[in-house]
Amino acid sequence: MRIQVGPVSRASALAWLDYAHKMVAVLRGVQAPILSGEALDGFADLLDRWAETATHEGPFIWISDESPELAEYLIRALYEAGLEVEALHEQGGADLRPVEADEFHVAMVNQIITTLGQEGNGFAQFADMLRSEWGIAGRA
């Protein structure tokens, strides 16, 4: 399936990528993690790919062909990572996403969920479930 993230401002993408790299490091240090090391490795790989895209001038636009299964796996893991970061934040162990990163985050989540929702019944049900549970997934 063809996934597009963007166009969004390069500054927002860079802010989100910087934050995401920090949070992957924080989550790797959690003693009883919700996310597997495999999921964090998948994020780290994707972050590296996005960081390469963000080196280009102008708005951030990333387009790739990915399997719907991988997209579902990573977006579910991103949702779970967010829950874990929020819990860590309440304990003083992690920062929340900076406001500058919101444009990228909202666009990325919504574009991936929308694309997944077009992949057939199982993926559409998953996309609907995420939209109902994840407040960010309902924002434009």
Q: Are 73 and 38 in contact (CB under 8 A)?
A: no
Please, which residues have CB within 8 angstroms of residue 86's CB and are 6 or more apart in sequence?
96
Domain ranges, ordered by start, for the chain: 2-138
pLDDT in tens, 59-106: 999 999 999 999 999 999 999 999 999 999 999 999 999 999 999 999
Distance CA 89, CA 44 (A): 21
Q: Is the pLDDT at 137 greater than 90, yes or no?
A: no
Per-residue model confidence (pLDDT) at position 78: 92
Question: pLDDT tens digits, residue range 29-40?
Answer: 998 888 889 999
Q: Tell me: pLDDT of 51 over 70.
A: yes
- The answer to whether 71 and 43 have CB atoms below 8 angstroms apart is no
* pLDDT confidence bin for 139, thresholds 50/70/90: very low
